[in-house]
Every structure is written in C-alpha cells, then in structure tokens.
Amino acid sequence: MSKTLMGQLGIEIVELSQERVIATMPVDHRTHQPFGLLHGGASVALAETVASMGTYHLIDQENEICVGLEINANHVRGVKEGVVKAVGTPLHKGKTTMVWDIKITDEKEQLVCVSRCTMAILPKRK
C-alpha cells in the first residue's frame, strides 16, 4: 500500500468488521497544512478511506467495486502532532450505495472532524 494515498499519508486500518472500521493516521509533515496543523484534506482522505474499506468489506468483491460518491466534513479542532483515529460506522447498507458516519478524534479522544461519506457500489467490469 506504500504507493497509494494510504501509504503516503501513513494511514493504517486497525479494525475492520461489518459494524465499524477504525483507522489511524499520523499528524506530521505529510499531513500538515502550512501553519503546522492537520490539513483538512488529510482528514477527508482518512474519512473516505474508512468508508471505502468498510464498503469494500461488505460487498461482493468478485463482482463489485466501490467508489466515493459524496463526502462532507466539519473540522472542529486543530491538531499539531500525534496520531488521529477515525471510527466509521455504516448508516445505510444498500445494494447500490452505502452511507458512512466517520468521527476523527485526537489522542485525548477529543473530536477533530466529523464526516459523512456516501459510497457508490458498481459492477466490476470484466
């Protein structure tokens, strides 16, 4: 995964089940914005990664793929260093879409970002 966005940002999946996905990401030079804080785009990348991994875990992987359809994020707290944790839970598990709620917290378990991501489920081209 080192040649993917996950690898470049240091995102690691630490739990993957039908009920939730948990991932971590370091807050360092790779994920900072110019003022030394966690970049909002890095938080969004973490959130969509969680939703993508969770959806992929739930679909027919031989015949389907999933892609991000829509994402929003509210950034509520700045982080300068350490590790953030994203916990994603499915709000809707449909045949063509899934909707995920993702909460990102800092090491003190303070809310950093809340996001909702809609994933599209598509047939795999053969």
Q: Considering the candidates 12, 15, 19, 48, report the single residue annotated as catalytic.
A: 48
Which domains can be identified in the chain, with CATH numbers?
Answer: 5-123 (3.10.129.10)
Entry pTM: 0.96
**Residue 46 pLDDT level (bands cut at 50, 70, 90):** very high
Around Cβ 65, how many Cβ atoms within 10 Å?
15
pLDDT digits (tens, 9 = 90+) for 91-101: 999 999 999 99
- What is the residue-averaged pLDDT of the chain? 97
Q: What is the mean pLDDT of residues 70-86?
A: 98
Contact status, residue 87 vs residue 103, Cβ threshold 8 Å:
yes
**Given a cut of 90, is residue 1 above it in pLDDT?**
no
48 is catalytic: yes
Q: Is the dihedral of CA 118, 40, 29, 102 positive or negative?
A: negative
Residues 6+ apart with CB under 8 A from 90: 19, 54, 58, 98, 99, 100, 101
The CA distance from 98 to 48, in Å, is 12
